[in-house]
Amino acid sequence: MRAGVVERYGPPSVVRIEAVPDPVAGRGEALVRVVAATVNSGDARIRGARFPRGFALPGKLALGVKGPRARVLGVVFAGVVEAFGSDAAGGAPHAGGTGAVASGFAVGDRVCGMTGARMGSHAELVGVATSRLARIPDGVSFDDAAGVIFGGTTALFFLRDKAAVKPGEHVLVVGASGAVGTSAVQLAKHFGARVTAVTSARNAELVTALGADSVVDYRATPLESLASRGERFDVVFDTVGALSPATGRPLLAEGGRLLLAVASLGEIITAHGAVKTGTATERADDIATLLGLVASGTLRVVIDETMPLDRLAEAHARVDSARKVGNLVLHPQEGAGAGAGSAEKAA
C-alpha cells in the first residue's frame, strides 16, 4: 500500500509517500481501507517534535528519539472494513467468522475511529482494534465522519466532561475557527450556552453561522483587554494555547472554569480548582455521539480542503501556518495507482 512516512522529525518536507507493507489485523482487530483521514495539529506537532513546554524529553522517549517509531502518522480514519484478524493467536486475517460476530461489525461496514498511539491512518489501509470502531450512520459522508472526530472529541471532553456546561452559561471559545473551535462553538450552543467566539475577522462570518452569539477579533481586541473592561465568562475554553492560568483566570466569572486544551507539563501538574487540562479520550461511544449529532444536522463539520495522499506534506504545511479553518481531510485512495512501488517526495 501507499502511505505517508516520517523517518525523522522536521519540517513538512520530511513527509514522503512510499510503498510500505500492508498492515495485518491481529486478534480482536479489523483491517480498514481508509477513505478519509484528517491532518491535524497533533499530527503536525509529532512530525515537527513540537511538544508543549516540558514534554520534549518524555515525548521523544514515548514516540521516538530521532523520529517517530510509528513511521506512518495519523490517528483519525473513516473507511470500510476489509477483514478481521483471527481469534486464534498467529492466525491469518479473514473476511468473517467469530471475530466479526463478536465485534458487532462485518466486512463492508462503513466505520471510523481513532488509532491511538499506534497511529497509521495516513495510508490506504490501517489496522485497528474493533473496540475502537464506530459505525458511520446512513447519510453521513466519510469526509464528515473523519472530520468530526479530532476536534469533536476534544470539544466534547472539555465542555461536557471537564466543565459540565449548563444552559444559560456564557462560554468564551478561543481559536473558534479551528478543528476543535468549530466543534466547541456548536457543542456549547447545543448544551444551551451563550457563546463568544475569538477568531480573526476573516472567519467571523463562519463562526457566527455556526452559532456564536458574538465574535471577538483577536487582532483588534487582545484577550487581556476583555478582562480589563470587565467581561467575565462562566467557561473559557482555549483551544490553541493562547492563555495560561495566570492570563485566563481574570476572564472567569465566579464559579467559572478555565479549559486549556494545549497545556505545558507544569500547567497540567499544577492544574486544580477552576483550571482544567488533560487529554481527550478516544472512546468509540463519544465518536458515536458526535456522529449522531452530525446525522441529525445539529453539528456541522467544517472542512477547509480535501487532498489526495500525494499532498500530505502540503497539508502539514497548512497546519503549521495556523491558517487552517476547520479540518483538512486526506483521501488516501485518490491517485492510488500513481507511483505505487516507488518512493516519492510529497510536494
Q: What is the dihedral of CA 100, 115, 346, 60, to 10 degrees?
A: -150
Q: For residue 337, what pLDDT is reported?
A: 54
Supply the pLDDT for residue 339: 37
Taking only the tens place, the pLDDT of each residue in 243-289 is 999 999 999 999 999 999 998 888 888 889 999 999 899 999 999 99
Rounded Cα distance, 306 and 329, in Å: 5
Q: What is the dihedral of CA 280, 285, 290, 293, to 10 degrees?
A: -150
| Angstrom distance (rounded) from CA 120 to CA 167 | 39
Under 8 Å between Cβ of 85 and 91: yes
Tens of pLDDT, residue by residue over 18-33, are 999 999 999 999 999 9
DSSP3 helix / strand / coil % (the chain, rounded to 5): 35, 25, 40
Residues whose CB falls within 8 Å of the CB of residue 149, separated by 6 or more in sequence, listed in order: 38, 76, 112, 113, 114, 287, 290
pLDDT band at residue 236 under the 50/70/90 scheme: very high
Q: Can you identify the CATH homologous superfamily of domain 149-276?
A: NAD(P)-binding Rossmann-like Domain (3.40.50.720)
Cα–Cα distance measured from residue 88 to residue 93, given in angstroms and rounded to the nearest whole number? 10
Q: Strand, coil or helix: what is 221?
A: coil
Which pLDDT tens digit goes with each residue over 189-230?
999 999 999 999 999 999 999 999 999 999 999 898 898 888
Question: CB-based burial of residue 230 (10 Å sphere; 0-12 exposed, 13-18 middle, 19+ buried)?
Answer: exposed
Beta strand pairing call for 76-84 and 29-39: antiparallel
| pTM of this structure | 0.89
How many degrees, rounded to 5, is the angle at CA 66 between CA 64 and CA 68? Answer: 40
Among the residues of the chain, which ranges form H helices?
41-48, 56-63, 98-103, 142-156, 179-190, 204-209, 223-228, 245-248, 265-270, 284-296, 312-320
Cell of 334: 485518490
Contacts of 267 (CB under 8 A, 6+ apart): 244, 245, 260, 275, 277
Fold annotation for 2-146+302-345:
Quinone Oxidoreductase; Chain A, domain 1 (3.90.180)
The pLDDT of residue 101 is above 60: no
Report strand pairing: 110-114 vs 133-135: antiparallel
Predicted confidence band of residue 54 (pLDDT cuts 50, 70, 90)? confident
**Helix 312-320 / helix 41-48 crossing angle, nearest 10 deg:** 100
Q: Please, which pLDDT band fits residue 56 given cuts at 50, 70 and 90?
A: confident
Amino acid at 262: V
pLDDT band at 62 (very low <50, low <70, confident <90, very high): confident
User: What average pLDDT does this structure show over 336-345?
Assistant: 38
Model pLDDT, residue 338: 41
Does 341 score more than 80 pLDDT?
A: no
Computed over every residue of the chain, the mean pLDDT equals 90
Lowest mean pLDDT among 57-61, 109-113, 118-122: 57-61
C-alpha cell at 327: 479540518
First to last CA, the chain: 19
Alpha carbon distance 64, 58 (integer Å): 10
- 285-306: pLDDT as tens digits: 999 999 999 999 999 999 999 9
Mean pLDDT of 113-124: 96
Write down the domain spans for the chain.
2-146+302-345, 149-276
- Considering 50-54, 83-87, 104-108, 193-197, the range whose residues carry the highest mean pLDDT is 193-197
